[in-house]
Amino acid sequence: MKPPDFDYVAPTSVDDAIKALGSDAEAKVLAGGQSLIPLLAFRLAGPSLLVDLARVDGLDHITDEGDRLVIGAMTRQRRAERDPVVAERCPLLVESLRHVGHPQIRSRGTIGGSVAHADPAAELPAVVLALGGRVHVTGHSGDRTIEAEDLFQGFLSTSIEDGEILTAVEVPASGPRTGWSVVEIARRPGDYALCGALCQLQLDDAGAVVDAHLALIGVGDRPMRAHAVEAAVLGGASPVEAATLAPDGLSPGSDVHASSDYRLHLATVTSRRALTQALESAA
């Protein structure tokens, strides 16, 4: 359970971090280490160099940009969870963070690290996907922005290239009469969920749903946005009716924790509960 040998640098600027990453084909970014260090302990990763971003200037911030909320990659999850600006601008993110591991994991784990790690059962990638957010990355060839729908490429895999660093995560700020909910089925609190649904709905003055976001976790090799359910809700379907569409297009794997069929069943159950709760909290 001891990590293999590696070299370590802790640069203080993004430029130096990119240079360090470019200096070694087997280099890897170290953020909070809450996923990477277990991978090292199990010898599932063997980088020759770790580039620690903890001392890099400018990556730890929460910025309210009016219609958008921008969070620096190295912002600790525990800070974001307790931040009043995040609570006001993106309550779904706060609710989701409470489901990420335990407080001691969130003290170290970062917003950017969770999104870059792209675990299919992780909450934060699903929030960014559900809300139609994007990430900012930078590398040798400059800065670019990747839309959430193009970011998640498969199991623990994103379109962030080797040598690039995720610098910030951006989500649209929530409007008035917005409700949200995170419903998960997990063996123990804090465990990665067998299946979960993350939902945000917005109502107009007459109480009709005018904006619907739903993403599912634990049902594929990446977080999945439930477009069919969203369309049904926007068309006036009840949570019960709409949730029956949740398994559309999903083919989750079976493992020791849950069979594929059970996960599909949970997709309906968690979607129904999340839609119902989000509607109630928006009303």
Partner 1 sequence: MTTHDITVEVNGVAYDRTVPPRLLLSDFLRHELHLTGTHVGCEHGVCGACTVQLDGDGVRSCLLFAVQVDGCAIKTVEGLASGPELHPLQAAFSGAHALQCGFCTPGFLMAIDSMLDELSAMNEAEIREALSGNICRCTGYQGIVEAVQATVAGDKHDGR
Q: What residues make contact with ligand FAD under the rule CB under 6 A?
A: 28-36, 38, 53, 73, 99-101, 105, 109-110, 112-114, 116-117, 119, 122-124, 160, 165-166, 190, 192
105 binds partner 1 (CB under 8 A): yes
Structure-token pair, residue 223: 């977080």
Please, what is the minimum distance in Å from the beta carbon of residue 165 to ligand FAD?
A: 4
Interface map 123-162 toward partner 1 (x if CB under 8 A): ----------------------------------------
- As to burial, measured by CB atoms within 10 angstroms (0-12 exposed, 13-18 middle, 19+ buried), residue 218 is buried
Verify binding: residue 5, partner 1, rule CB under 8 A.
Answer: yes
Q: Is 117 in the site for partner 1 (CB under 8 A)?
A: no
Q: At what angle do helices 260-282 and 227-234 cross, to 10 degrees?
A: 30
114 binds, among partner 1, ligand FAD, none (CB under 5 to 8 A by kind): ligand FAD
Q: Is 269 exposed, middle or buried (0-12, 13-18, 19+ CB in 10 A)?
A: middle
Q: Listing from the earlier edge strand, what are the strands of the sheet with 224-225?
A: 178-185, 195-203, 209-217, 224-225
Q: Which of 11, 33, 72, 179 binds partner 1 (CB under 8 A)?
A: 33
Q: How far is CA 230 from CA 74, 148, 267, in A?
A: 32, 17, 14
Counting DSSP H helices and E strands in the chain, the numbers are 12, 14
Closest separation in Å from C-beta 174 to ligand FAD = 21
**Considering the rule CB under 8 A, would residue 26 count as an interface residue with partner 1?**
no
The residue assigned the tokens 């590696």 is: 6
228 part of the interface to partner 1, by CB under 8 A: no
CA 130 to chain centre: 9
Is the Cα torsion angle 164, 100, 180, 76 positive or negative in sign? negative
The distance of closest approach from Cβ of residue 256 to partner 1 in the complex, given in angstroms and rounded to an integer, is 16
Q: Could you tell me the smallest distance in angstroms from the CB atom of residue 275 to ligand FAD? A: 22
Residue 179 as a binder of partner 1 (CB under 8 A): the answer is: no
Interface with partner 1 (CB under 8 A): 1-8, 10, 30, 33-34, 37-38, 41-42, 50, 52, 54, 78, 101-105, 107-108, 188-190
